Structure 1
């Protein structure tokens, strides 16, 4: 049996990777898991949660899949990509997919573009309809500074380990991502030592690539990558 673990991002939840998980579920008989990391989900409760709890939960979910499946794939989005990279250095998984993986974060140029859009909408009375404003307003209110520091600690700990990744890896990056800059994807491609690795840039997508305008291309490329060389 084939298993696939999909890990969401910081201040997010399984909904961030759900469209891709559903796409794969409809086209395969794989066991696909989309766990929720501690403090995350639709209602954020991040106060007092530490980064090692996120790692531990993801590790436990991977161990469950490894006990059930002969072949296991890892898919990680944003912070989940950092966690997936960490797991790929410790466990025998067959393939790795990194979506908007946050080894670097905050893309100033795109962020200012997004802010300009919010300002424009505020002058036309449409700010409350702006999806970025709605999403990030909620996250800012419910994300304590301590949680952000834990996220930074996680990235700092895992980044030096990425050179140890040796499994086939697909690196996906939205070109309009205001959170994770393009240099993050380039860094991953340069650093990961696997001889089989691919960069996929999505020209119209922001950070949430599984929900973006290029998502059908994304889903197809991920499926193709994971299905390749299956006996």
Structure 2
């Protein structure tokens, strides 16, 4: 049995990786595990929650999946990529996929472009119909500063783990990502010592890479990588 652990990002939920998990459910008979970290989900309750609880929940899901599976893949989006890399370094896995993984974060030049685009939409009265904007607006409003500091602590703690990742690794990064810059993907590619690794850029994609305009290309890259013989 093949098991695949799919990890969402900071302030997110399984929705963030849903296009990929839906595709895998439709095209494979694999066992998928898509945990939700404490305080996360559609209703955020992040105040007072330590980042170690997020790591612990992902680790618990991984160990449960490993008991049931002969082969284990890890797919992590954004903060989930950082946790996924940590699990791959600590326990090993058969393949690792990092989507917009946040080894570094905030891309000022792209954020300026995104803000200008949102201003234009706002002037036209279209922001209320912009689903991803509404999701991020709600996240911003519901995320306490303490939780953001916990996210930063998690990233700083887990970044060194990538120096020990030996699993074949696919890194996918949107070039128009306003939250995670290209240097994050470049850092991961240079740091991971695995013999087999691939870095793929999607030119038009922003941070929510699984839901963006190059979704089909993303899913194809992920699926082909997972289906390749090791």
Q: What interval of TM-score do these two structures reach, taking the shorter chain for normalisation?
A: over 0.9
Three-state SS of the structure 2 residue aligned to 1:73 is strand
The offset of 1:12, in angstroms, is: 0.5
Query: In the TM superposition, what is the alpha-carbon distance from 1:185 to its structure 2 partner?
Result: 0.5
Question: 1:196: which partner in 2?
Answer: 196
Number of residue pairs matched?
A: 230
* C-alpha RMSD of the superposition: 1.1
1:229 is aligned to: 229
Contact 1:173 1:185 in 2 (8 A): yes
- The alignment status of 1:87 with 2:90, answered yes or no, reads no
Q: Give the conservation status (yes or no) of the 8 Å contact 2:9–2:80.
A: yes
Normalised TM-score (structure 2)? 0.97
Query: Residue by residue, what CA displacement relative to the aligned partner does 1:104-133 show, whole Å, maximum 9, x if unpaired?
Result: 001111100010012222322333234453
Deviation at 1:102, TM superposition (A): 0.4
Give me the whole-angstrom Cα distance separating, in 2, the residues matched to 1:125 and 1:28: 42
- Is the CA contact 1:171–1:185 (under 8 Å) kept in the aligned structure 2? yes
8 A contact 1:18–1:34 mirrored in 2: no
State whether residues 92 and 166 of structure 2, in contact with CA within 8 Å, keep that contact through their aligned partners in structure 1.
no
For residues 32-181 of structure 1, the aligned pairs below 5 Å read 32-181=32-181
What SS does the aligned partner of 2:76 have? Answer: strand
Unaligned ranges ≥5, structure 1: none
Q: Which moved more, 1:120-129 or 1:162-171?
A: 120-129
Structure 1: how far apart are the matches of 2:123 and 2:70? 56
- TM-score (ref. length: structure 1): 0.97
Q: Structure 2: how far apart are the matches of 1:226 and 1:107?
A: 29
Partner-residue secondary structure (3-state), 1:106: coil
Kindly state the Cα deviation for residue 72 of structure 1 after the two structures are TM-superposed.
Answer: 0.2
Deviation at 1:92, TM superposition (A): 2.7
The 3 A distance-change label for structure 1 pair 130 and 29 is closer
Deviations 1:82-117 (A, max 9, x none): 000000011131110000000100111110001001
Task: Tell me the secondary structure at the aligned position of residue 136 of structure 2.
Answer: helix
- Cα distance in 1 for partners of 2:122, 2:212 equals 23
Rounded Cα–Cα distance in structure 1 between residues aligned with 2:5 and 2:125: 42
SS at match of 2:5: strand
Specify the alignment match of 1:208 in structure 2: 208
CA–CA distance in structure 2, aligned partners of residues 135 and 187 of structure 1 = 29
8 Å Cα contact 2:92/2:165 also seen in 1: no
Structure 1 residue runs of 4+, over 2 Å off? 121-133
Gaps of 5+ in 2: none
